[in-house]
Structure 1
Amino acid sequence: MHELSIAQSVVDAVCERAGDRKILTVRLEVGRLCAVVPDSLLFCFDVVTAGTHAEGASLCIDEVPASARCRACGDSFSPPDMFLLCPCGSADVEVLAGHELRILSMEVS
């Protein structure tokens, strides 16, 4: 469950940035190809915020759909899963979106 280490890294980063201020909300951008289970990340976030300035904060996750372009035929497509195959059958694809994993914002008081 790598969601636990992701949640811990997010909490460490926002707590460092917030200083002594209480963190109310954290917004993340998570690509579909990151293999992150949003419900697991939400659960882990609640666990790792205990005893920090982020305790009780809400975590908002913006999921970014996967997008790719085939180098063989030039078509752009949205892969339905982690198997990056173009509908033409080629596996020679460039991922355009879906690997994002970043903190977009946080709200503090």
Structure 2
Amino acid sequence: MHELSITQGLVDAVLDRTGERTVTAVNLRVGALSGVLPDAMRFCFDVVSAGTPLAGARLWIDEPQGLARCRTCQDEFELPDLILLCQCGSADVEVLRGRELMLMSVEVA
């Protein structure tokens, strides 16, 4: 489960910036095509943040869907998974959204 190490890195990064101040919320963006499971991150966050100034903080995760543009027909379409195939049959697509894994903001008390 790589979500555990990703979440540990997230908590470490927040602690580096906030020090001992109490953190009340952490806001992330985890795209549907990122390969990271938001539910697993939520579970790991509670475990990893225990005993730190992030303990009890809310973890908000924005989960944008994948979006791609076909380089052949120029159509834009949603990508529910990593099967990069346009309805025109072309596999020459550019992913526009959905691979994000970003810390957006942190709220402190």
Normalized against structure 2, the TM-score is what? 0.95
Tell me how far 1:73 sits from its aligned partner: 1.1
RMSD of equivalent CA atoms: 0.9
The total of aligned residue pairs comes to 109
Residue 5 of structure 2 is matched in structure 1 by 5
Residue in structure 2 matched with residue 97 of structure 1 by the alignment: 97
**Contact 2:65/2:80 (CA < 8 Å) preserved in 1?**
no
Aligned counterpart, 2:20: 20
Partner of 2:91, secondary structure, is coil
Which runs of 5 or more residues in structure 1 are unaligned? none
- Partner-residue secondary structure (3-state), 2:33: helix
Please, which runs of 5 or more residues in structure 2 have no aligned partner?
none
Paired with 2:31 and 2:85, the residues of 1 have a C-alpha distance of: 18
Structure 1 runs of 4+ off > 2 angstroms? none
SS at match of 1:64: coil
Equivalent-residue separation in structure 2 for 1:77 and 1:69 (angstroms): 6
Matches within 5 A, 1:17-56: 17-56=17-56
Structure 1 length-normalised TM: 0.95
Identity among equivalent pairs (%): 59
